[in-house]
Copies of this chain bind each other. A is one copy, B any other.
Amino acid sequence: MGLLSKSTEYALRAVLYVASRKDAKYVSIREISDELGVSFHFLTKILQRLTRKGLVVSYRGPGGGVALARPAGRITLMDIVEAVEESDLFTSCILGLAGCGEKKPCPLHGQWARERTGLGKMFRQTTIAKLAGHVVRDKLRLADG
């Protein structure tokens, strides 16, 4: 099992792609799906979700597409993950028990809570701007190959 769902993976890659094309006003979903090598229709549904959540704005018709709703420096990985994934990764018990907390911990609670906090920090502190800049400067990939 991967850490993130396919939907979240695609969402992150798509947003990073849009952010790395700072010059463009709107980027069409068709262009994104072609560049990332993922299904157009599936990506459309995912981006619609980001649109409804207010992370990206969209525009229909020729020259339309999607754009970030606010500066990439104010969008974190956690924003995206929370928008598309209904995951309790950062709050739930690693053994799947009901209610994770200090009151009734499972035997793994201590160690998992520490790792989870580290992961949460990474997702909350890393912005799209930082990663997109990395993509542009170092020509990092957002697709296979």
Contacts and interface: CB of A to CB of B under 8 A. Distances in A.
A51 interface: no
Copies in the complex: 2
Contact of A2 (B92, B106, B143, B144): B92
Nearest to A130: B107
Nearest to A144: B98
Question: How big is chain A's contact interface, by range?
Answer: 35 or more
A105 interface: yes
Interface string A83-113: 0010111001011111100001111100110
Interface stretch (A6-14, A42-50, A59-67, A68-76): A6-14
Contacts of A126: 108, 111
A22 B142 CA distance: 50
Contacts of A12: 95, 108
